[in-house]
Amino acid sequence: MNIASVIVDVPARQTDRTFDYLIPDRLLGYIQPGMRVKVPFGPRNVQGFVTGLKGESEFAKLKEIAETLDLTPVLNEELLKLGDWLTEKTLCYKISAFQAMLPAALKAKYEKKLALAQGVFPKDLSDSVGRLFKDSREIKWDESSLKNLLPSLQKEAAEGRIEVIHEVRDKVRKKKLKHVYPAVEKDELEKQKALLGQRAKGQEKLLCFFIDDPKPIELRELIGKLDISAASIKGLVKKGILQEEAIEVYRDPYETREFVKKKPLNLTPSQEKVIGPILSSIGEDRHEVFLLYGVTGSGKTEIYLQSIQQVLDKGEEAIVLVPEIALTPQMVTRFKERFGDLVAVMHSGLSAGEKYDEWRKIQRQEVKVVVGARSAIFAPFENLGIIIIDEEHETSYKQEENPRYHARDAAIQRAAFHRCPVVLGSATPSLESFARAQKGVYTLLNLPKRLNNKPLPPVEIVDMREELRDGNRSMFSRKLFEKLEDRLEKREQTVLFLNKRGHSSFVMCRDCGYVANCPHCDITLTYHRFNDRMKCHYCGFDEGVPSVCPECGSEHIRYFGTGTQKVEEELAKLLPHARVIRMDVDTTGRKGSHEKLLNSFQEGNADILLGTQMIAKGLDFPNITLVGVLSADTMLNLPDFRSSEKTFQLLTQVSGRAGRHDLPGEVVIQTYTPEHYSVELAGTQDFDQFYNQEMMVRKIHKYPPFYYISLVTVSHAELMKAVSVAEKITRHISLKLSEEAVVLGPVASPIPRINDRYRYQCLIKYKREPGLEKALKSILEHYQQETASGQLQISVDLNPYLLM
């Protein structure tokens, strides 16, 4: 077994297979599947993953593995298999699947360098080349600065005086800090203390400290604690009494926070009823998927916590997925309060290094529970006992780049391997999951009542067209405004929700109707008040606001629309005494600012919390008694078959923020389409009826959960090329599929151009098409050269959540 199969870090169709390498003697018995290695590949070195070991290879002249990058495998056997599954399910490259399962810090960083050959000095080279090495024997390969030296470099390299090095490194280093500890026994420390001179106050303090506690301590901490200088430590180190060493430390994003340990709460009878099947599934090592359908405030989290406790008691581990966890600090707090140091947290707000450290804690079995966003589903636990997905219906569980996986599917895959339950929790389950529960594929668990039987808040729907007819041109209906004033008077809090999607500010000419568009994408530029500029949210293009209309020359050009900033301005005008906290991408950009704003609101530093999607979930503050939705229907017009579902879910979620505690709550929903069933039924919070109605619509239009869908998007800088390739692909797919399948297109994507590339797409709806995956693979293969060069892009999404 001295040969390793390796998947190399070259994401291309031609290299999407294993390559065999000889394991050098010094690494024999050490290299295991799942380790990262550095291997020579063509003329350079690349990172690779060992996927298996074998005794012989069909390939005659094998190269040797250059070195290992890990001491222990970063992917265990289960995760290696899961990588294969991901590759198959999403048609991505093996290497992309592996990389998706690991923290970004472990991704290789490549650096091309020039170095002097052994025994060669700058003076041995021609003047121009020799000058490059005057400071160091190694320099970075910098295309631009070396440009005119290329011929002479080539000559020196050919004659062996300099060489090209391809370096492979981890992206992020382990964080190491200098630690100090005694080098001698306690009685020796005592002896040395007696020998110290009168003036050696610092050294005396140090010795006292270590006589008390000889454990290693971080240098800076020691200096701060004893109020001494680094020189005192140096002195003792020199005498050989103390020792210094760089020890790996974890970056702990929550280290400054104190968590008070909390006990499990008593379960209500209905909670008891629901947790029963989950606990027995855990106890019997049985894989089962539960759909925990519980209204907002029905105590789902406590079910999660107590199920996990059972798993921990069994000596197993738990994964909890939450959507964009940075946005729900309350959730993290509850887990930390219950399980303390056993919890690792993984979310997008952490730096690459912090994420890596949390991952290391899991790998080293130092934690038992991970709470995290989508990618936490790949936490390298060995004995999973439960996987929980909170807010199961959230679309952020679907990754919108390769590998385009859905965390729910990966969860079920992993749980089946570990023979443990998956709990999907939601107040508004996705249609897909609910349908599966109805069919008996998932086990449905119901929590129909809020804790303490608090009623759901009454919801009033206001028709904004009527408001307009009655001459109210403000963005607040009279009803909402009245209630706002009332809450201000009573010193209770209000949450105002603005459905921002498709509703951000833009710049328009009031005379000719010209709207500022991105010159590279067919999309309106979004206006940002804080720097008075317009920005494209797809390619990042950014431009100042023109003072005159570029079409007609009119000066009446200004920003338009109802962004949060604009609402804030209007609030300031109408209710100048109200204290408003605004939460959107602009105000929560910086790390931790989100939490700060929420804390400030919780402490009562504001009367109104104004925000977008991000305030729809997880807020649980006792003083919120009014929730206002400013525009309920802005999502309904998006080209997305899930838009009704999303609207219903969002409105229900937001409504759930009101009156969760002692004070009763109220909800006002403003809309231009009060008759739409998703708005109307969100008003009565009638999920069952919504489900029935929406299922009918899906059936008629052949959408999930009745049909599967797949989306192929073709993009190219030339319109004609994009169209013709899309056409060929569509034709090819149609030929390969059965009568039952529907192939739509090709049509221009809803955003027909992004970053100067035209986009055409083909949508496939089908029930059972065993030939589809093969057809798609052969298409990707067929166009591999053109896609490799970047000219042409073909993206395939089996089960897309965004049809853009």
Partner DNA sequence: AGCACGCCGACT
Partner DNA sequence: GTCGGCGTGCTC
User: From the CB of 39, what's the least distance to DNA, in Å?
Assistant: 7
772 contacts 728 by C-beta, under 8 angstroms? no
CB of residue 167 to DNA, shortest distance in Å: 12
* Strand order across the 217-218 sheet: 217-218, 176-182, 242-248
Q: Does the annotation list 521 as a binding residue?
A: yes
Minimum gap (Å) between residue 113 Cβ and DNA: 11
Q: Is there a contact between 370 and 319 (Cβ–Cβ < 8 Å)?
A: yes
Q: Is 266 exposed, middle or buried (0-12, 13-18, 19+ CB in 10 A)?
A: exposed
Is the distance from CB of 487 to CB of 626 less than 8 angstroms?
yes
Amino acid at 734: S
- For residue 72, give the DSSP letter: S
The Cα–Cα gap between 120 and 163 comes to 11
- Compute CA 589 distance to the chain's CA centroid, rounded to the nearest angstrom: 15
| Least distance from DNA to the Cβ atom of residue 43, Å | 4
User: What's the burial of 650, exposed, middle or buried (CB within 10 Å: 0-12/13-18/19+)?
Assistant: buried
Could you tell me if 605 and 513 are in contact, meaning their C-beta atoms sit under 8 angstroms apart?
A: no
| Angle, vertex CA 31, rays to CA 29 and CA 35, nearest 5 | 160
Of 673, 271, 662, 373, nearest to 651 by C-alpha is: 673
* Integer Cα distance of 649 and 643 in angstroms: 10
CA angle 15, 16, 22 (to 5 degrees): 70
* Minimal distance, residue 4 CB to DNA, in Å: 9
What is the nearest approach in angstroms of DNA to the Cβ of residue 2?
12
Nearest approach in angstroms of CB 789 to DNA is 6
Nearer to DNA, 54 or 176 (CB): 54
Q: Is 92 annotated as a binding residue?
A: no
Name, in order, each residue with C-beta under 8 angstroms of 614's C-beta and a sequence gap of 6 or more. Answer: 324, 327, 583, 584, 588, 594
446 burial type by CB count under 10 A (0-12 exposed, 13-18 middle, 19+ buried) = middle
Go through the chain and tell me how many residues it has.
804
CB-nearer residue toward DNA: 39 or 308: 39
Q: Which is nearer to DNA, 5 or 524 (CB)?
A: 5
111/366 with CB nearer DNA: 111
Taking the complex as a whole, the smallest distance from the CB of residue 114 to DNA amounts, in Å, to 12
- Nearer to DNA by Cβ, of 13 and 454: the residue is 13
Residues 6 or more apart in contact with residue 428 via CB below 8 angstroms: 393, 648, 649, 652, 653, 687
* CB 369, CB 312: distance < 8 Å: yes
Comparing CB distances to DNA, the nearer of 43 and 770 is 43
Q: 449 or 721, CB closer to DNA? A: 721
The single residue listed with the structure tokens 């089908």 is 766
Which residues, other chains included, contact 374 with Cβ-Cβ below 8 Å and sequence gap of 6+? 321, 396, 397, 399, 407
CB of residue 51 to DNA, shortest distance in Å: 12
Would you say 48 or 746 has its CB closer to DNA? 48
- Tell the residue number behind the tokens 């999907």, with chain if given: 424
For residues 111 and 272, which CB has a smaller minimum distance to DNA in the complex?
Answer: 111
Q: In the bound complex, what is the minimum distance in angstroms from residue 503's beta carbon to DNA? A: 37
Which tokens in the block code for residue 252?
């702990």
Q: How far is the CB of 402 from DNA (least distance, A)?
A: 12
Residue with token string 């197993």: 316
Dist CA 689 CA 684 (whole Å): 10
Residue 86 beta carbon to DNA: minimum distance, rounded to whole angstroms: 19
In 730-802, the DSSP E strands lie at 742-754, 757-766, 792-798
Residue 208 among known ligand-binding residues: no
Closer by beta carbon to DNA, 113 or else 579:
113
Q: Which of 292, 134, 296 is nearest to 620 (CA)?
A: 296
Q: Which is nearer to DNA, 164 or 441 (CB)?
A: 164
Task: Name the residue nearer to DNA (CB basis): 20 or 463.
Answer: 20
512 is in an annotated binding site: yes
Q: Where do contacts with DNA occur on this chain (CB under 7 A)?
A: 10-12, 14-15, 19-22, 39-44, 57, 59, 61-63, 110, 112, 164, 166, 785, 788-790
762 annotated as a binding-site residue: no
539 is in an annotated binding site: yes
Picking from 580, 656, 669, the residue whose alpha carbon sits closest to that of residue 617 is: 656
What distance lies between CA 454 and its chain's CA centroid?
A: 34
**Binding-site residues from annotation:** 509, 512, 518, 521, 536, 539, 549, 552
Annotated binding site for Zn(2+): 509, 512, 518, 521, 536, 539, 549, 552
